[in-house]
Structure formats: structure tokens, C-alpha cells
A and B are shown apart, each in its own frame.
Chain A
Amino acid sequence: MSSLLGRNETLVAGVILAFCMVGALADPGFLSIPTLMDLLRAGIVLGILAVGVLVVLVSGGIDVSTTSLAIVALYVTTLFVQNVTPEMGWPLAFLLAAVVGALLGAINGLLIAGLGLPTLIVTLGTLSVFRGFLLTFVGSRLISNLPGGLRDFSRAMMIRGTNADGSFYSLPWAFAFLVGVVVLTWFLLYRTMLGRQVFAIGGSMESARRIGIPVRRVQFLVFVYVGALGGLAGIIHASLARVANPQDLLLNQQLPVLAAVVLGGARLEGGTGTLTGTLLGVSLIVLVSNSLIALGIPNTFQSIVIGFLILLGTGLPAWQARRAQRRAA
């Protein structure tokens, strides 16, 4: 029981509940299907990115380049489709974006797994390299007239309805991608040996090496996978926003993404982290970002709240680890 209470998941779920109650008290229309749909919609891109970052953290690394990578993938893909294959349907375009993302992720993977460089510094570097390359050599012009395939996708709604008060609500099919990514990642992490190897490396890299796990290969694949997810998140973001912007503000979502993952209980030391926790973390971040405005708290406080959430998400397990260590020693 105490272990359940001490978990980040429980804490985050509690905070979400409290938040909803405050929201409901402040605004009777808060607990409604349209609000839920808004939140789900806002969580799509953040969620996919967070799942990717979770995998990196489980393997014992950190990645601060995913949003930069996502923007490169979305822009390159849109540009390519617009100029070369304007008739391309969205499935192929999505695949293309994922491949671009995977290739960029492979660069991170080569530097980190291949050359053994520290993950923070490499991804800090590639964060700039990706962005700088895009804006210097690919283009800095905003594409507001998306190719037809991507426009079609953005119009495809999974749920559509009218509320009692006559307001419309809808949830785009893009949400299915988040569900798909979560299911796929769950399968990879918990049902394949590769996924178990990711956990094993995060738990003890030396033990992994001794038992014969190809540590470098697994690390490399982790970054390729994260890259592919980043590419996917990027193109979904572009099609939902109906614009491909090489200077997209998605770039600033890196820290909220990281906050969501550490809130969910993943640790920088590696080896721990769950998809449930990450999704709860994403929910909380989305809830906070969307509701602060609704609750009349100025937008400017968002980054303060997210900063606190990062500290809370990291501080809780760190504090518990200290206590446990002191008890055992």
C-alpha cells in the first residue's frame, strides 16, 4: 500500500483529480465532453513525443532534440510532398516523415551508441544542428497551403457531436495515432526481447554487457525509434495546425514533454518508467496548460508551473531513494 502511495503515478493521478475538481468548481462547464475532447486533442503530439522520450530515459539516456527533429521532419516532408508528389496520400507522407525522423534519430544514435558520447551534450548539439540545417539549407518560409493528403487527414474526425448547449465538439483521427504509438511501444517494451534489453541496459549497463546484450545496437535502435516517433509527431502537428512552419513553436514543447515523462516516474538514471505514468504526466501537463487560462491564471505562469512539475516529478523519487538508502545502508 505504501509503495502504491509513494509512486509518481498515484501522485500525478491525485493531482489530476484535484485539478479537475477545482476546474469544475470554477467553471460548471469544465467537466464536459467538449473539454475532454480539447484535452485529448492537445495531448496527441505531446503524447507521442513523450512516449519517445520515455524510451530514451528507460535506456538510461536523455534526449532534448526531439522537438527540433520533429520540426525538421514535418517541414522536409511537407516540402517534398508539395514539390515532388503533391498527390501523395497522407499515409505515405506520414511514413516519409517517420523515415526522416528515424534517419535524424540515427545521427543521435551513432554519436551516443557508436562513439559513447554523453546523451545530454549530444542532443543539445543536434538540437541546434537539426534546426540550423533546416533553416539554412532547406528553407525558412512558412508553408500554409498544405498538400491535399495532409489536409484530408486533418479533416478526418473520429468523434463528432453537438453538446446540449449547441456547441460542436470533435476529435480528429490523429488521436488514433497516439493510441497506436502507445500500444506499439507497450508491445515493444514489454513483449519483445529488444524492449526487455532496453530495460536491462537502463538497469545496469555493465550487467547487460556481461550477459551478452548488444548494448550499442540497442541504444542505437532506441534513438532511431525515438526519431521515427518524433517525425510522426511532427507531421501530425503540421497537419492538425494546417501549416508547416520551420520555426514552429513546437520547439518550446521539449521541456513540457520531459516534464511529463519524469512526472510519470521515469528516472534519469534509467531502468524505470511506465507508459501509464507517462500518459498521466502528459494529461497533467495538458490539463495545466489548457486550464490555467480557463481558470483565469495568466499564461505567463505556465512555465513556472511546468518547472515546478519537473522538480516535483524528479524530486519525489530522489527523496524516496534517499530515504530508502538511509534506511537500508
Chain B
Amino acid sequence: MTAAPAPRVSRLLAQPEARLALIMVLVFAVMAALAPERFLTPQNATSMAFQFPEFAILALAITITMLTGGIDLSIVGIANCCAIVASLLLTRLAPGAEAGVGWLLLSYAAALAAGAAAGLFNGVLIAFGGLPPILATLGSGLIFTGLAVALTGGTAIMGFPASAAWLGNGSVLGLPVPLVVFGLLAAGLSLVLSRTGFGLKVQMFGANPLAARYAAVDIERLLLRVYVASGMLAAIAGLIIMSRANSAKADYGQSYTLLAVLIAVLGGVNPYGGYGRVVGVVLAVLTMQFLSSGLNMLQVSNFARELIWGALLILVMVINTRTWGFRRLRRRLPTAAPQGETR
């Protein structure tokens, strides 16, 4: 740790998080320079703080599954499905706009339970069914979306009590509620990953699933918990989306899957598993939001934004794979390890 100054800088930059911090500052600077009168305003800061938490929370869900070498492509389906569960409870069982805070909390609890159940479904498929996470969650995502459509007939559900707006639009101590929620979840996930046995096991499993099995790690339970956590994070994101839109619909947030994967990869999470830090994901979220809001101000269309996100995802992968080169080979070629010599 007492290296000479020059190598220390290069070693620092070898870390994806450090590189990302640099990129974030650059993006901020560029956007600020391009449109200082609109970008550098308190209004813009506030609007950004309300915008990003919903997909940032989805990115946390992707992060935890990616750490195990898996992925959860059903998060948007889960988010919408859970929002619809909550909104149906509010509008059909509860007296809609007149419903009290008790009903609201109950609907949130129902949404969280639905998210956990959906995650459990994924977890069972992956841990006990042995399905590859990509296909398991693609399939289950369709099912969740289908359920959401079936429950609503494809229309938006509206008519919530005024208190429902707080989660997406309210403020506490001058901070937007969604931002606070994201902050708490990110801090919580970071703590879980770095300070609990579960978090350590997630990373070890991601690094080498077979060795985890041989080290008597309870893999099935681990995977169940990971996908349940992912489902519950998606449910929270769904509730924030619902609150901000003041409605719930089966096809909200269609582009969020890509965005969430992009953020996780941008944040330095290794899609092959075993490495990833929440700090990186938070930096990636901020970078994306600066970029997104800058593009907004430059009146870049939604389509162009889609193009930029896709291109960015690939570009980040190209840069990051250089550090992962070794791991990639190992993972792809499980039989490549020479049996005898280890040199």
C-alpha cells in the first residue's frame, strides 16, 4: 500500500469505480459547459433527484443478481405487476381517493409481498430447476407482464389517495423522498454485501459456483434470497413509478431493463459474477442522470437517447472486459484448467 506516487495513480485508475468517478465529473462538466443556464440550477438538481431513483433501484436489483453471475430480466415486469397489485388494492378494496394512510401502507406491504413472491418464483426456477437465469427471467418477465395486463385489461389504474403521491413526489428535510429511499437501499445493499455473511457468500458464489458448492455454501438458499431481494427491490421501484405517474399500468418503464443493466455494467459489476460494488453503481446512476438530463436540455429525442444508451453499454463493456479478460476465459472454458500443473 506504500507504492510510489505514479503507480498509485495508475493503480487507482485500474479500479473501475475510480475511472467511473472521473467520467462522472467529466460528464457533469461537459453538460454544465453546454447549457450552464439550465443545467446548473437548483430546479434541475431537484428534477434529477426525482427522476433517477426509480431506475436506479432497478439497477440495484440487477447488481445483486449479476454478482452471482446471473441476471434478472424480469424486474420491469415485477415492478409493474407489484404496482398494479398495490393500486388494485387501493382502488377496489379500499375506497380509492378517500383511502387512509393505513390502506396505503397495506397496499405497499402487498406490493412488497408480491415482489418477494415473484422473486421466489425466479429463485426456485434457477436454484432448484437449474434454468439459466437469462431464460428463466425472460420467461417469468413475460408471465409477470402478462399477469399485469390480465389484472388490468391493459389500462392504467388511477384514483389513489393524495397520500400516495408522497413516495414519488414528497420531500423530507428538503430531500426528495425517492432519493432518500434510493439512498437507504443503496447504503443497505452496500452494507449487506460488505458486512454480512450473505453478502460475502454472494460474491464468493459469483466468483466460482462450483468451489462454493465444495466449500459447503448453501447455494440454493443463497440464490433464493438473491432473487427474492431482486424482486423486492423491483417492487419498491414499481411503487415509486406508480406514485410519480399517479397511476399503474402494465407497460410502464419499458426501457428500464436496458437502463438498469447498463448502469450495473457501467458501475463496474462483472456480468460473469464475483465482482461489483454499490459505490460504482451509485456513480453510474449519477453519470447516467447527468447525461440524461443534459440530453434532455439539448432536446435530444427519446429515440436518440435509446441509441446513446445502447452504444454506451457496449462501449463500457469493451473498456471493462480488459480487466476481466482473465476471468472471462476461466468462466467460458470450465474444462480449460490443466489437471496437473498449476503454473
Binding site for B on A (CB under 8 A): 62, 111, 115-118, 120-122, 124-136, 140, 204-207, 255, 258-259, 262, 268-269, 298, 300-311, 314-315, 318-319, 321-322
CA distance A140 to B303 in the complex (A): 9
**Which residues of chain B come closer than 8 Å to A118, judged between CB atoms?**
271-272, 317
Cβ of B225 within 8 Å of any chain A Cβ, yes or no, is no
Task: List, sorted by A's number, 9 A–B pairs whose CB atoms are closer than 8 Å.
Answer: A115-B321, A116-B328, A128-B310, A132-B304, A304-B142, A306-B142, A308-B143, A311-B140, A315-B129
Kindly identify which residue among B131, B138, B153 contacts A318, using a CB–CB cutoff of 8 Å: B131
Chain B contacts of A128 at CB under 8 A? 255, 258, 306-307, 309-310, 313
Closest 3 CB pairs of A and B: A132-B307, A128-B310, A307-B142
Q: Is the interface of A mostly helix, strand, loop or mixed?
A: helix
Output the nearest chain A residue to B337 by Cβ-Cβ distance: A206
Q: List B contacts of A268 (CB < 8 A).
A: 132, 134-135
Check B134–A206 contact: CB distance below 8 A: no
Instruction: Say yes or no: A131 contacts B303, CB within 8 Å.
Output: yes
A120-B317 contact in complex given A125-B310, A205-B332, A307-B146, C-beta closer than 8 Å: no
B188 touches A (CB below 8 Å): no
For B152, give the chain A residue with the smallest CB separation.
A300
Given the contacts A300-B153, A301-B146, A307-B141, A120 and B321 also touching, CB distance less than 8 Å: no
| Docked CA distance A47–B229 (Å) | 38
Inter-subunit contact A122/B314 (CB<8 Å): yes
For B, the interface residue count at a CB cutoff of 8 angstroms equals 51
B95 at the A/B interface (Cβ < 8 Å)? no
Interface pair B306/A115, CB less than 8 Å apart: no
Partner of A255, one of B142, B150, B310, B325: B142
Task: Enumerate chain A residues within 8 angstroms of B308, measured Cβ to Cβ.
Answer: 132
CB-CB under 8 A from A116, the residues of chain B are 321, 325, 328
User: How far apart sit A278 and B132, CA to CA, in the bound complex (Å)?
Assistant: 19
- Residue interface bits B309-340, CB-to-A below 8 A is 1, else 0: 11101100110010001001000110110000
B321 pairs with A117, CB closer than 8 A: yes
Question: Are A311 and B261 also in contact (CB < 8 A) when A122-B317, A136-B307 are?
Answer: no
Q: Which of B143, B144, B317 contacts A117 (CB 8 A)?
A: B317
Known: A300-B150, A306-B142, A314-B131. A135 touches B313 (CB 8 A): no
